[in-house]
Amino acid sequence: MVELALRPVCLRISRAAEGAGRDPTSIRLIAITKAVPPERIAAAVAAGVTEIGENRVQEARLKHASVPPGLRWHLVGHLQSNKAPLAAQLFDTVHSLDSVRVGAALSAHRDPRRNPIQGLVEVDFTGIPGRTGVPPERAGEMLRELAVCSGLRLAGLMTVAPFGDLDAARGCFCRLRALRDRLQTELGLELGELSMGMSDDFELAVAEGATMVRLGRAIFGGRMSAGVGHPG
């Protein structure tokens, strides 16, 4: 049952935060619902989940009317510019900004009667072929160009660590935090969010400063591909 899985996950987040001298309430759990049917999402919501993450815009569109209202929706998968108009309607936060074109399109298509959509710039430290995200040396330039977009609120940075290597994962998380701290100072932007950590490494991410962890398998079970697509 989702409830039985969620409780120990939340406890692990709390313990990791306390071990790092952090307030556990400063870490938000994003339940990754890729390929999860609406009835299981509803069970997770009943167990306390308030924020869900989807990898694909179309899957989110199909689920929107079938899940409980009042959730915060996060896009964690790669976003193409032709899907940005719909993404701007469906999501509260996009974690995977990797081009100025996509960020500008989100801003342009956000309903001005709503709050600006939150955006996190995805940074790739791995250089693995097929990975999305900008190299760290380009993150500052991208943030600077997107800062003028009125329909987009830049909120922080995101990364996907290498799979199966916890030492390398910790290194990525540490580097993302250091990059965020440096760019905040250099650009004068408030970049409070660090989206990092998934089912295999979220405790390390919390220890290194994550404010959002993206968990799918740890909550819903099953196995997702460890390749492209930002599994949880």
Residue 137 belongs to domain with CATH number: 3.20.20.10
pLDDT single digits (tens) 150-197: 999 999 999 999 998 999 999 999 999 999 999 999 999 999 999 999
Would 226 be classed as within a structural domain?
Answer: no
Query: How is residue 96 written in tokens?
Result: 């995977």
Model confidence at 117: pLDDT above 50: yes
Would 64 be classed as within a structural domain?
Answer: yes
Would 128 be classed as within a structural domain?
Answer: yes
Would 154 be classed as within a structural domain?
Answer: yes
Rounded Cα–Cα distance for residues 211 and 209 (Å)? 6
pLDDT of residue 1: 66
pLDDT band at 227 (very low <50, low <70, confident <90, very high): very low
Would 148 be classed as within a structural domain?
Answer: yes
Mean pLDDT of the chain: 94
Would 228 be classed as within a structural domain?
Answer: no
List, in order, residues 6 or more apart from 144 with CB less than 8 Å away. 187
pLDDT single digits (tens) 59-113: 999 999 999 999 999 999 999 999 999 999 999 999 999 999 999 999 999 999 9
Rounded Cα–Cα distance for residues 132 and 11 (Å)? 31
pLDDT band at 225 (very low <50, low <70, confident <90, very high): very low
Residues 130-147, mean pLDDT to the nearest whole number:
97
Model confidence at 40: pLDDT above 50: yes
pLDDT of residue 175: 98
Domain that holds residue 23: 2-220
Would 138 be classed as within a structural domain?
Answer: yes
Q: How far is CA 147 from CA 14, 94, 121, 152, in A?
A: 33, 15, 12, 8
Question: How many domains does the chain contain in total?
Answer: 1
Would 232 be classed as within a structural domain?
Answer: no
In the chain, pLDDT over 90 holds for what percent of residues? 90
pLDDT of residue 131: 92
Model confidence at 230: pLDDT above 90: no
Residues 113-117, mean pLDDT to the nearest whole number:
97
